[in-house]
Amino acid sequence: MYPIRVRKEILDSWFWKQRNPSILHVLDELEGPEVTGQDLKSTAGWRIAQKCPSEIHVELMARGMIPDPYLGFNEHAVQWVGNTEWLYKCTFTFEPISDEGYTVMLQFQGLDTVCDVYLNGDKILSVDNMFRTYYAEINSSTLKHSNTLFLHFKSASQYAKAQETLMGRVRAGSTNLGDPSRVYLRKAQYDWRWDWGPELMTCGIYRPVVLSSYSVCIDDIFTKASVDDDLTCSLEVDVSLSGQLTGIDKYRVVLKDSEENVVRAEDILTEGKPKTSRTVVSWNFDEDEVRLWWPVGYGEQNLYTVELTILNKDGVVFDTKTLRIGFRNVKLIQEDLEAPDQYGTGTTFLFEVNGVRMFMGGSNWIPADNFLTTITPDRYRAWLTLLRDGNQNMVRLWGGGIYEPDVFYDTCDELGLLVWQDFQFACGVYPAHDSFIDSVREEAEQNVKRLRHHPAMALFCGNNEDYQMILQWGDVKDFPAIKIYEDVLPSVVESLTHPVIPYHRGSPYGGKGWDTSDPTVGDVHQWNVWGGKEFPYQDYDKLGGRFVSEFGMPSMPCMKTISYWMKDAAPKEWHAQSKLMAQHCRAGSFERRFAIAMNDNFKVTEDLETAVFNTQLMQSEAVGFAYQSWRRNWGAKGKQYTGGVLVWQSNDCWPVTSWAIADYFLRPKAVYFTIMRHLATFAVGITRTVIKNKPNDRPRQYYEFGAFQSRKAIIDIWAVNGSLSPRSATLELHFVDLCSSWNHKETHAIVMPPNQAIELLSITCPEPSKRNDAPPTGYAEWTTSSSVVIGARLLDPENGGVLARFSDWPQPYRFVDIVDPELRINVQNSEDTKTSTISVQVKMPAKCVVLGVAGYDEDPKWSDNALDLMPGDTQIINVHGLEGRDIQASYLGKEKATGVVFQRV
């Protein structure tokens, strides 16, 4: 009988051991002893793998043979692992599926990275690309009932150095971006160290090994889900087959919605002439027969399943393959602007989905762990849900990590997160010799085919900062990888996607002569605040571009995360400048750069918890100002000057001080909530321009209390309506003096046009007229507004509900006279859930009120946090998992968390 495809993952009976260099022939190690006890000192002998997929550091830690590299200084104690060769083996059974001819295929979905593969003593593969799936076709007559797979992993770092010796040393990043030899090996570049991650040269079977037997199989299906400009939908399904085609009688294609209802189904007869590839169906849909997929915030994430089956004339199924798709149209719009902005004219860089131009607000994703096999599907979903709940609609997968597993993109489809996917090149001069190009082309083809059906896919990008680095260095004469970015990759994307997914040759990239810093064209990475020229963050509004795909300010994680890596550290290490804190901060020149920004804005402290709070507040203020300033540039068509903002970075790969908006344990920093508010459907913003008594004062927003005094402050207020309908609102302004009982309120009726920002008001800031510290007689031109906090709210004119709020404080914060806000909290517990409702109020303004609980139990989840509070504006938040625990709070002026006055209901 014509055999049906049989497929199984080889998950069990894997063993591993360290290669013994004294044994000349590696296959002689196969019969070595298996370690059954807990001999932790010996590296000899085969040990059973904890699981498969498997990574060697994880196996060593599970056996107690190395310490956890994420704790203390342990990273240095495990460097030997990456310079060692490692062996894996397993035994699997094989049952023939037919007496007739058929194919047996071994599929290796992810080998990290340089590996020779043997089956029953014969070498069947030699691989050197972590990003490819490798196939080995096996002669079934050579297989036994019991068969042995043997994998010999060689040192990736030593392999890369050997390639460098052959081909020459090139430039790649800086000293904190890993050894330059990394460019010669197709392995995750962050494994060599980055400015937020450790140096951990991983190896192992990081994705499944699959054994398939078939006479015929579906190699691939290409689902071309098209949406025309008039939003009519169509679907074409192409199939590619392998094996003996003669027994195929028909193809069956079924389209189902998310509730398993059949939308369309069709049987297509082969008429005795099956082909290795063909279009099997081409369907045009009536209006409302299928529904569009929308990014989050713009509509529903309608998903459909395409099921393709090949059958014989008796209806026996030979093979089936399914893909989940969505109907959407995505375009990258680069068109001339109607009028110049502060940067000049130029072109837009924005995304249009289903005919709607959308401001992209999101973040840059790095791998969520150095040990990829430890990232569970639940952990991926938790991370991406955190981004979605933070009002983000785009995530950029950075080019020094990996192409993530299917679960990542599936989850983005479900949550409505658009994906900007870099190809895996970052900050280096990559080679372009023939064998390298061939491997990269296969890598690109495999991953484009794997990802193209996802409606979340919005952009493929050639590399991260390779063009920019070459311009910065100025001494690189040869740039061979231009062939990859401008020939190989765009041709792969164009030929393998339909509708064609946009391609961008590098990030950043834009102006003439690769001018990667041109703010009028393409995208920019804006690092002149933290690094580069080290401008103050109050200049972010002058440092944007058409699309800001990277920028950021780092901060320390919370004390709970710091305590994790400090573990049993001596008391002398518990300060911001200790050796152990430095071990967990990889940012270049971080001491000097932190000192500049921190000393400009906050009082100097030697207390670690206070320093932690201040770094998080600084990150929140800096990134928040950037988001609101650049979203303010999203105007009407022809004036959409900034099309998106992606902060560096979403996440961490280990516990560390970094630019992440939530740390390794998914604990959001203050900046996460600030971004969430700035990316809400409705947002309001304030800029205070201080007029000084001397024209040569330094940055805007700053008040000087020496020879410089301010004459007045101009208040500019704007709003953003992210919905697709006009919105009426009441703008309420509340001015409160920190040094007296003076306050002032005023309201204005406004109408916000759809899908854009609008300027609302420009006024002189009201000022207190009677204060003990008012300027003396003769200095009446000096203003007292330097102690005034301004609160803005957008209110629903019908029910008074708050649509958006924002407060602007005088700066720098080190000069602000903080007063006790008299913080009060009421907690109302729900009887049938773990969710509590909390109301928070103050009698005087409070800056960045961070709520938490004491101890090291599971963290509660807050619907909002890091709150700016104004008198008379009670804020209501939900918290899940409080479970009766007392709430602690910290805020500017009381940075060490303590209990607060609260009442339970």
Has residue 404 been placed in a domain?
yes
Kindly tell me if the per-residue pLDDT of 687 is higher than 90. yes
This prediction's pTM: 0.95
Q: Quick one: pLDDT at residue 693? A: 66
Kindly tell me if the per-residue pLDDT of 901 is higher than 70. no
**Residue 407: strand, helix, or coil:** helix
Q: Which one of 55, 404, 414, 465 is the catalytic residue?
A: 465
Confidence of residue 608 (pLDDT cuts 50, 70, 90): very high
Kindly tell me if the per-residue pLDDT of 137 is higher than 80. yes
Do 787 and 639 share a structural domain? no
Kindly tell me if the per-residue pLDDT of 867 is higher than 90. yes
Do 124 and 247 share a structural domain? no
Do 98 and 14 share a structural domain? yes
Kindly tell me if the per-residue pLDDT of 780 is higher than 60. no
Has residue 694 been placed in a domain?
yes
Cβ neighbour number for residue 764 with a 10 Å cutoff: 12
Instruction: Identify the CATH number of the domain in which residue 517 sits.
Output: 3.20.20.80
Cα 166 to Cα 548: distance, rounded to the nearest angstrom:
39
Q: Quick one: pLDDT at residue 834? A: 81
Kindly tell me if the per-residue pLDDT of 717 is higher than 90. yes
Confidence of residue 430 (pLDDT cuts 50, 70, 90): very high
Kindly tell me if the per-residue pLDDT of 698 is higher than 60. no
Do 318 and 393 share a structural domain? no
Residue 7's DSSP bridge partners are 212
- The residue-averaged pLDDT of 840-867 equals 93
Tokens read off for 519: 């703010």
Do 731 and 659 share a structural domain? no
Peptide bond into 508 cis (omega under 30): yes
pLDDT one-digit tens code per residue, 257-296: 999 999 999 999 998 888 899 999 999 999 999 999 999 9
Has residue 763 been placed in a domain?
yes
Ordered DSSP codes for 477-514: ---TTHHIIIIIHHHHHHHH-SSPPPEESSBSB-SGGG
Q: Quick one: pLDDT at residue 605? A: 92
pLDDT one-digit tens code per residue, 434-462: 999 999 999 999 999 999 999 999 999 99
Q: Quick one: pLDDT at residue 711? A: 79
Q: Quick one: pLDDT at residue 165? A: 97
Q: Quick one: pLDDT at residue 722? A: 97
Confidence of residue 391 (pLDDT cuts 50, 70, 90): very high
Peptide bond into 340 cis (omega under 30): no
Confidence of residue 362 (pLDDT cuts 50, 70, 90): very high
Cα 47 to Cα 59: distance, rounded to the nearest angstrom:
9
Q: Quick one: pLDDT at residue 851? A: 96
**Residue 628: strand, helix, or coil:** helix
Kindly tell me if the per-residue pLDDT of 431 is higher than 70. yes
Kindly tell me if the per-residue pLDDT of 694 is higher than 80. no
Q: Quick one: pLDDT at residue 32? A: 80
Q: Quick one: pLDDT at residue 592? A: 92
Kindly tell me if the per-residue pLDDT of 706 is higher than 70. no
Q: Quick one: pLDDT at residue 193? A: 96
Q: Quick one: pLDDT at residue 653? A: 98
Kindly tell me if the per-residue pLDDT of 697 is higher than 70. no
Cα 225 to Cα 883: distance, rounded to the nearest angstrom:
47
Cα 53 to Cα 892: distance, rounded to the nearest angstrom:
47
- The residue-averaged pLDDT of 494-510 equals 96
Q: Quick one: pLDDT at residue 38? A: 55
Q: Residue 621 phi/psi, 5° resolution?
A: -70, -45
Sheet architecture: strand order including 788-795: 743-752, 727-737, 788-795, 802-808
Q: Residue 862 phi/psi, 5° resolution?
A: -100, 135
Mean pLDDT of the chain: 93
Q: Quick one: pLDDT at residue 42? A: 61
Cβ atoms 289, 295 nearer than 8 A: no
Has residue 494 been placed in a domain?
yes
- The residue-averaged pLDDT of 342-361 equals 97
Concerning whether 465 is annotated as a catalytic residue, the answer is yes
What is the count of structural domains for the chain? 5
Tokens read off for 797: 């004119």
Cβ atoms 216, 247 nearer than 8 A: yes
Has residue 484 been placed in a domain?
yes
Peptide bond into 841 cis (omega under 30): no
- The residue-averaged pLDDT of 464-488 equals 94
Confidence of residue 769 (pLDDT cuts 50, 70, 90): confident
Calculate what percentage of the chain has a pLDDT beyond 70. 95
Among residues 762, 797, 815, the one where a domain terminates is 815
Do 728 and 653 share a structural domain? no
Has residue 618 been placed in a domain?
no
Has residue 872 been placed in a domain?
yes
Q: Quick one: pLDDT at residue 770? A: 56
Q: Quick one: pLDDT at residue 12? A: 84
Do 420 and 361 share a structural domain? yes
Do 502 and 445 share a structural domain? yes
The residue range of the domain holding 146 is 6-213
Cβ atoms 63, 41 nearer than 8 A: no
Of the CA atoms within 13 Å of residue 873, those in its CB half-sphere come to 28
Cα 89 to Cα 120: distance, rounded to the nearest angstrom:
11
Cβ neighbour number for residue 758 with a 10 Å cutoff: 15
Do 156 and 102 share a structural domain? yes
Q: Residue 196 phi/psi, 5° resolution?
A: -145, 5
Please count the residues of the chain. 905
Report how far apart the first and last C-alpha atoms of the chain are (Å, whole number): 72
Instruction: Identify the CATH number of the domain in which residue 722 sits.
Output: 2.60.40.10
Do 299 and 208 share a structural domain? no
Provide the pairing of β-strand 394-397 with 360-365: parallel
Listed range (636-650, 734-748, 891-905) with the worst mean pLDDT: 891-905
Kindly tell me if the per-residue pLDDT of 511 is higher than 80. no
| Sign of the Cα pseudo-torsion (528, 530, 534, 538, in order) | positive
Has residue 761 been placed in a domain?
yes
Listed range (31-40, 230-239, 339-348, 490-499) with the worst mean pLDDT: 31-40
Do 132 and 94 share a structural domain? yes
Listed range (30-44, 307-321, 529-543, 568-582) with the worst mean pLDDT: 30-44
Burial 124-133 (b: 16+ CB within 10 A, else e): bbebbbbbbb
Kindly tell me if the per-residue pLDDT of 736 is higher than 80. yes
Do 482 and 428 share a structural domain? yes
Tokens read off for 104: 């047996």
Burial 176-188 (b: 16+ CB within 10 A, else e): ebbbbbbbbbbbb
